[in-house]
Homo-oligomer: A and B are copies of this chain.
Amino acid sequence: MKKLSFECDYRTGAHPEILRKFIETNMESLDPYGTDSYSESAEEKIKTACGDADIDVFFLSGGTQTNLIVISSLLKSYEGVIAADTGHISIHEAGAIEYHGHKVLSLPHKDGKIVPEDLKKYINDFYSDENHEHMVFPGMVYISHPTENGTLYSKSELETISEICRNNNIYLYMDGARLGYGLMSNETDVTLHDIAKLCDAFYIGGTKVGALCGEAVVFRKEVMPKHFMTIIKQHGALLAKGRLTGIQFDTLFTDNLYFKISKNAIDTAEMLKKVLEEKGLRFAWDSPTNQQFVILENSQIEKLKEKVGFSFWEKYDDNHTVVRFATSWSTTKENIENLKNVL
């Protein structure tokens, strides 16, 4: 039997419908650099999915690329971006934000999230500090939704954070690498319409939700950086064959495919949760999305690793470790059954 794979949500290829569409359109001569008909169609479909908000949509290849381009194109040179200390930009993007000139201003996370009160206090403390002209101005708040811990902001939390940002002329930007899994969670009250209203910029993740690569970055029209295509080019992120991302997102946003396959990850995650519970495993914290975090005894880990792929998260104590099991758009019920048997 092949080793079971729950390490992460980017180990299989693309949803088959995407590959079918690649083949169907392959010999069409299309305009380059994202001006092709599929990119345009994808943009329209995403606008509709966002509630026809006054937005602009662009396609990029990956999450770190999207984060660094959005952040560096929206911030002034003297501004930084506030993020939870568990945020992807805070630790796992190899300093890409700093490499592009901006400090990540870390706030201690609670369940992987920024606490609105902490945010308010941070901003107030900054502006009441008489030396703040010698410090990095807060110019943006970065949140992940779902977070790196699999958790979700409630609508009320999002509204509060959005209000704090608007009151202080600070952008609110959402990293939606796994946005589909957040939107289809059984425990969320946040819709894509809400996000389009409350955020200044966000991205709809493709790489982790059924695409080979690609993220759809959305800006409120009035926030949209001028000459964004040139900015993308300057970062080496402009695909000559824009069809690569255009066709993928056009397919994902046709017949709600993006949401259907996201739902699959949630459904299989719920099954996974039950299996893990039944086997008496402790959860490190509660996650309503496709990533589940359990505490294993170190002695268990080596043995289990032979048959099941999962990923190391963090040390729990000298004898225990937190590990992550992730489902995805491509996880099947059989995968979960097999895991059950192995456990």
**Bound state CA distance, A102 and B234, in angstroms?**
11
**Bound state CA distance, A91 and B102, in angstroms?**
13
Is A343 part of the binding interface, using a Cβ–Cβ cutoff of 8 Å? no
Stretch at the interface among A127-135, A160-168, A298-306: A127-135
The answer to whether B99 touches A95, judged by C-beta atoms less than 8 angstroms apart, is no
A227 nearest CB neighbor, chain B only: B78
Least CB distance, A228 to chain B, in whole angstroms: 9
List of B residues within 8 angstroms of A16 by Cβ: 23, 26
List of B residues within 8 angstroms of A109 by Cβ: none
Secondary structure type dominating chain A contacts? loop
List of B residues within 8 angstroms of A28 by Cβ: 12-13
Is A64 part of the binding interface, using a Cβ–Cβ cutoff of 8 Å? yes
**Bound state CA distance, A28 and B11, in angstroms?**
8
Chain A interfacial residues counted at CB < 8 A: 80
List of B residues within 8 angstroms of A236 by Cβ: 61-62, 64-69, 96, 235, 237
Counting chain B CB atoms within 10 Å of each CB, which of A5, A63, A241 scores highest? A241
A97-137 interface bits toward B, Cβ cutoff 8 Å, 1 = contact, 0 = none: 11111111000000000000000000000000011011111
Counting chain B CB atoms within 10 Å of each CB, which of A29, A67, A80, A92 scores highest? A29
Is A32 part of the binding interface, using a Cβ–Cβ cutoff of 8 Å? yes
Stretch at the interface among A51-59, A181-189, A205-213, A216-224: A205-213
Q: Which residues of A line the B interface, CB within 8 A?
A: 2-3, 5, 8, 10-14, 16, 19, 22-23, 25-32, 61-69, 72-73, 76-78, 80, 91-104, 130-131, 133-137, 207-208, 212-213, 226-227, 229-231, 233-241, 243-244, 309, 312, 330
